[in-house]
Structure formats: C-alpha cells, structure tokens
C-alpha cells in the first residue's frame, strides 16, 4: 500500500443482471480473483491478482464477464510511460530483477509484415494445389559435397544423418517442467501424427514419451538436466542449446515450485530446488570447444543422428553461424529477439538480440558467400505466427521454422505472459494437477494437428500461386519477396527488392 500501491492493470466487469452466481469463475481462476460474498449474495473480485488470461470469461455460462484494461493512469508522459514508472516502484520495493514470460511485448519492427509475396500472372502459370501435387516435404541435415561412385560406376548412397519433415515446421524447445505433462503429451502426439518433430527443451524426457522418439529432438543445455545415455539415443536429433532469443546470454530458470514429482525425476534434480542452467556451457568457452561437444555427442550416438546447435540471434550472428557450420553441426537453429520463454529477466527479453528476419537473411547470405550453406540446414524461430511468416522465412533462406508460441496458442494459451508464476489457468505452463487436468491431450493434439494442417494448406496455396510445386524450390528464392516501406539498408540486409522494383 502507500507508495508501493499500483492500481490493478485490469478491471473485472461483471454484468450483475447476467451473473447467476454459479461460481464457475471462482473455481476456474487459480489467481483467486473471484469469490462469493455470502453477506451480499453476489460474486465479487479482487482485481489486483488478475492477469487477463480470459479463462473466466471463456467459461462463464452467461457471458456475464469481461476483462478490460484499467483506465486509472498516471499523468501522461512520453518519456516516462506508465509501465516504466511502475517497474521502478516494483524494483524499489523488491530490490529484484524484473521477471516476465513469453515474447517481448515491445513494438520492434516485425519484418514479416513488411514483406509481400509474389504470384504468377500470364508469363508463368500458377498451379492449383487441389489438382496438382504440391510438395511441402523437407529434409534437414548436412548434404555431401561430392557424389562418389563405386567400382561398378554406381553412385554410392552415402549421406550424413538427415531428418525428414512432412512440412517445414517443428515445435520448438519447451521443457517438461516449464510446460505441463499434458502440454508435452499434446505436442508429442501431434508431431507424430503430422510427421514433424517436437523438442524436449532442457528438462529431459519423461519416460512416457520415449515412444515418440522418432518425432523428438532431445535438447542438451548448459544445465545438462535429465541428460543420460538413453535420453541422447531416444530422439531423432540432438540439439545443443547455446542460447534462446528471449534471453540471449543467460541460462534457463525454472523455479523450485515447478520442480515436483516426475519433473524432479526427469530432470534428475531434487524436488523443490530451482533448476538454474548456467549462462554458458562450462565446457564451451570457444568455437573449438563447441566442436568437441558436437563430436562427443556424435560419438555417443554413433553418428546416427544430426546435431542441432541452437543460438540466439545476436549482432554478430552471421559470423557465429559460419563458425557453427564449420564445427560439425548438421543444423543451426536461430532464435530471434521476439521469441518466447517460460521465464526471463524482463530487461534482457526486451532489449537483447536482433529480429529473426534480419538474422536469417544475414546468415543465409553469409553461408552462401562462404560456399558452406550446404554444410548445414537452417531452422529459425522467434515469432513465426502464421503460414505466411513460414513462406517468407523459407524464401529468405530457412530450411524450416520452429514454432512455440503459436503452438501454445493452439492449446489454449491466451498470452497473459505470466507463465513464470506456475498458475496457468489453461493447464499449459503449470504443474498444479488441478490446472494440468484442464488441458486434455486428445483435444490438444487435435488442435495442433488442425493448426498445422491449415497452415500447410495455406502454404500450398501460396506456393501454387507462385508457380512452385515443391517447397525446395522456394528455399532462398528471394525474388519471390518484395519489401514495403523498408529503408535501403533494411532491403540490403534482407537481400530483397522494394515493391515496384
């Protein structure tokens, strides 16, 4: 109270004439906003705790509820926005680092929205995906430089390990622990049904999910939680996580409150301890160390699966990627500044890193200039929100896209950005069994399959419009893109022309 008091960000508006006091909202809100007042015989709310997750709104049977942004505001000040002032109050009170979840809400330019896609007219026919084959299959992994022939003159079919995807999308790393069991089950099942891959994140792999191995990427992060021989062998690729777009330069952080039961077992750490991954891998202080880790992992799995190295998009990303491409990695994953997270220091999330579009364009171009683009596949993430973002990413040069926030939205996430509290009312980013139950993996996986199927259809439509019938012919095909409202410099980095050119 007093100086620390911050007026609630949201207001709960209850239409009294509609409310039947069924108390559904009370049961649904893990933040304990709603309660019944026996004296007054009506439902009341403590708005200070509301995070605007829309759970109560979605479930209120009489549509009596709505949540609106509070208009109680400090005096307007362009230099001192409301949020900045309140953050200072919070820090003055707590002495702590500000924490947040999901991708940055700051208005960084979204280059996807400033790029438009081509279509055929007259000189070249468009292709109708309903009537003609339209291929979205991609194969990730290092390609050989030289075809070899045996004594008999036949081609020797040697190939470094590859992974094949039915469409150029993978579910990005989200650990079991930061996500619920049911969320993981949904992702794994959907990946299997779709013929794509999901990623364990840094929390190990629950024993129930080993059966999804062929559709799993197992991650090895700096904390090495849950890493053991069977785990490494379980998936169809191993990802070394160096960094993440939402928090470049620092490690993961899962609060002890989420380390319970199965999670502590899967991560192989005691219950209730915070799982804090170190900022760097303490065995990687340089690029040659990375090479050693890549090859130790390859040795461990007998060179049978590709190794992915995931980094956050930072200033020098092109040179970094070029180093990784020469380190034995088969796939490079790059995560942009707008990427999501289960928990990150706010200042880092909002200020460190670069947009993925620029990083992707710069990396693809650099790898080509150095003639090593074929050494690696390129997977990008950090806010891929729709099928058109995917198409633009592929045309800029990506082999495939990682999606995470979009997948969570499909599961019901309402982007309230409070995953780190562990009270996700949608059963996604929580370990509270009562909440976890709310996400039914049968429905969750179905919704993910629906979303991806819809995107795949849209991708095929767009490809057909361009007269392209294989996604491979779209990769790096920057002539299919034009910028709108971009500066010379931005166009130069993206390697595209302006619309009208």
Partner 1 sequence: MKKEGQIRIPSGCAIAAVISKDGKKMSGDLITQAMKPMHVRSNGLGGGFAGYGIYPEYKDFYALHMFFDDRSSRISCEAFLKEYFEIVHCERIPTRKMPQITDEPIVWRYFIAPLKSMLANLQLDEKELVSRIVMKINKEQNGTYVFSSGKNMGTFKAVGYPEDVGVFYKLEEYEGYSWTGHGRYPTNTPGWWGGAHPFTLLDYSVVHNGEISSYDANRRFIEMFGYKCTLQTDTEVITYIMDYLVRVQGLTLTEAANVVAAPFWSTIEGNPDYASRRQFTYLRTVFPSLLVTGPFSIVLGYTGGLMVLNDRLKLRSMVIAEKDDRVFIASEEAAIRTMEPNAGKLRAPKGGEPVIIQVKEGAY
Residue 304 lies near partner 1 (rule: CB under 8 A): no
User: Where does 29-146 have alpha helices with state H?
Assistant: 55-59, 82-94
Q: Which of 146, 150, 229, 489 binds partner 1 (CB under 8 A)?
A: 146
Round to whole Å and give the CA distance between 291 and 160: 17
DSSP per-residue codes, 263-325: HHHHHTS-TT--EE--SS-TT-SSHHHHHHHHHHHHHHTTT-S-EEEEEE--TTHHHHHHHHH
Site string for partner 1, 118-137 (x = CB under 8 A): --x--xxx-x----xx-x-x
Where in 354-413 is the site for ligand SF4 (CB under 6 A)?
408, 413
Residue 149 lies near partner 1 (rule: CB under 8 A): yes
Q: Which of 11, 14, 24, 33 binds ligand SF4 (CB under 6 A)?
A: 33
Say if residues 204 and 267 touch (Cβ distance below 8 Å): yes
Helix axes 317-325, 356-369, angle to 10 degrees: 50
Round to whole Å and give the CA distance between 418 and 428: 11
Q: Which of 24, 64, 102, 169 binds ligand SF4 (CB under 6 A)?
A: 102
Round to whole Å and give the CA distance between 443 and 130: 28
Round to whole Å and give the CA distance between 362 and 358: 6
DSSP designation for 434: H
Q: β-strand 163-165 against 138-140: which pairing, if any?
A: antiparallel
Smaller CB separation from partner 1, 96 or 371: 371
Stretch in the footprint of partner 1 (CB under 8 A) among 2-10, 99-107, 155-163, 261-269: 155-163
Where in 2-31 is the site for ligand SF4 (CB under 6 A)?
12, 28-29, 31
Identify the CA nearest to 171 among candidates 359, 449, 490, 485.
Answer: 449
- In the list partner 1, ligand SF4, none, the entry touching 298 (Cβ below 5 to 8 angstroms by class) is none
DSSP per-residue codes, 371-424: T-GGG-EEEEES---SHHHHHHHHHHT-SEEEESHHHHHHHT----S-GGGTB-
Stretch in the footprint of ligand SF4 (CB under 6 A) among 50-58, 106-114, 244-252, 305-313: 50-58
73 CB-contact burial (10 Å; exposed 0-12 / middle 13-18 / buried 19+): exposed
Round to whole Å and give the CA distance between 147 and 70: 65
Q: Which of 28, 31, 104, 162 binds partner 1 (CB under 8 A)?
A: 162
Residue 143 lies near partner 1 (rule: CB under 8 A): yes
Say if residues 103 and 383 touch (Cβ distance below 8 Å): yes
Q: Which of 26, 54, 268, 385 binds ligand SF4 (CB under 6 A)?
A: 54
Where in 470-489 is the site for partner 1 (CB under 8 A)?
470, 472-480
Residue 214 lies near partner 1 (rule: CB under 8 A): no
Site string for ligand SF4, 230-269 (x = CB under 6 A): ----------------------------------------
Where in 405-424 is the site for ligand SF4 (CB under 6 A)?
408, 413-419, 424
Site residues (vs ligand SF4, CB under 6 A): 12, 28-29, 31, 33, 50-56, 67, 101-102, 408, 413-419, 424-426, 428-429
**Residues of the shown chain interacting with partner 1 in the complex, contacts defined by CB under 8 A:** 120, 123-125, 127, 132-133, 135, 137-139, 143-144, 146-147, 149, 155, 157, 159, 162, 368, 371, 373-374, 397, 466-470, 472-480
């Amino acid at each position: 109270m007093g100086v620390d008091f911050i007026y609630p960000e949201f207001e709960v508006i209850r239409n009294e004439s509609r409310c039947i006091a069924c108390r559904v909202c009370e049961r649904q809100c893990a933040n304990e906003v709603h309660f019944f007042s026996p004296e007054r015989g009506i439902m009341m709310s403590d708005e200070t705790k509301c995070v605007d997750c829309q759970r109560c709104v979605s479930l209120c049977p009489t549509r009596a509820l709505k949540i609106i942004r509070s208009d109680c505001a400090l005096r307007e000040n362009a230099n001192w926005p409301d949020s900045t002032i309140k953050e200072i109050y919070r820090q003055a009170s707590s002495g702590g680092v500000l924490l947040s979840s999901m991708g940055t809400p700051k208005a960084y330019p979204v280059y996807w929205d400033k790029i438009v896609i081509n279509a055929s007219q007259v000189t070249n026919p468009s292709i109708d995906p309903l009537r003609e084959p339209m291929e979205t299959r991609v194969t990730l992994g290092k390609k050989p430089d030289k075809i070899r022939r045996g004594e008999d003159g036949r081609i020797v079919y040697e190939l470094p390990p590859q992974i094949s995807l039915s469409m150029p999308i993978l579910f990005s790393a989200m650990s079991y622990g930061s996500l619920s069991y049911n969320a993981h089950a949904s992702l794994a099942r959907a990946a299997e049904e779709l013929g794509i891959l999901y990623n364990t994140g840094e929390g190990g792999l629950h024993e129930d999910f080993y059966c999804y191995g062929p559709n799993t990427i197992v991650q090895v992060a700096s904390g090495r939680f849950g890493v053991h021989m069977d785990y490494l062998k379980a998936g169809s690729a191993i990802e070394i996580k160096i960094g993440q777009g939402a928090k470049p330069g620092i490690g993961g952080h899962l609060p002890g409150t989420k380390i319970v039961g199965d999670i502590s077992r899967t991560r192989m750490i005691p219950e209730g301890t915070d799982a804090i991954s170190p900022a760097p891998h303490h065995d990687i202080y340089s690029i040659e160390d990375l090479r050693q880790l890549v090859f130790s992992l390859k040795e461990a799995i007998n060179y049978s699966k590709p190794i992915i190295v995931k980094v956050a998009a930072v200033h020098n990303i092109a040179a970094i990627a070029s180093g990784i491409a020469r380190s034995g990695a088969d796939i490079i994953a790059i995560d942009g500044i707008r990427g999501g997270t289960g928990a990150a220091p706010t200042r880092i999330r909002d200020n460190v890193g670069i947009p993925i579009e620029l990083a992707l364009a710069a990396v693809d171009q650099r790898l080509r200039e150095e003639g090593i683009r074929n050494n690696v596949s390129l997977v990008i993430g950090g806010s891929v929100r729709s099928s058109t973002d995917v198409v633009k990413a592929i045309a800029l040069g990506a082999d495939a896209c990682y999606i995470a926030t979009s997948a969570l939205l499909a599961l019901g996430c309402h982007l309230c950005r409070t995953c780190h509290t562990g009270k996700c009312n949608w059963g996604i980013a929580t370990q509270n069994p009562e909440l976890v139950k709310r996400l039914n993996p049968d429905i969750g996986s179905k919704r993910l399959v629906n979303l991806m199927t819809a995107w795949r259809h849209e991708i095929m439509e767009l490809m057909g419009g361009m007269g392209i019938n294989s996604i491979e012919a779209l990769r790096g095909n920057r002539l299919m893109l034009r910028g709108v409202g971009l500066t010379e410099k931005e166009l130069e980095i993206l390697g595209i022309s302006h619309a009208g050119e």
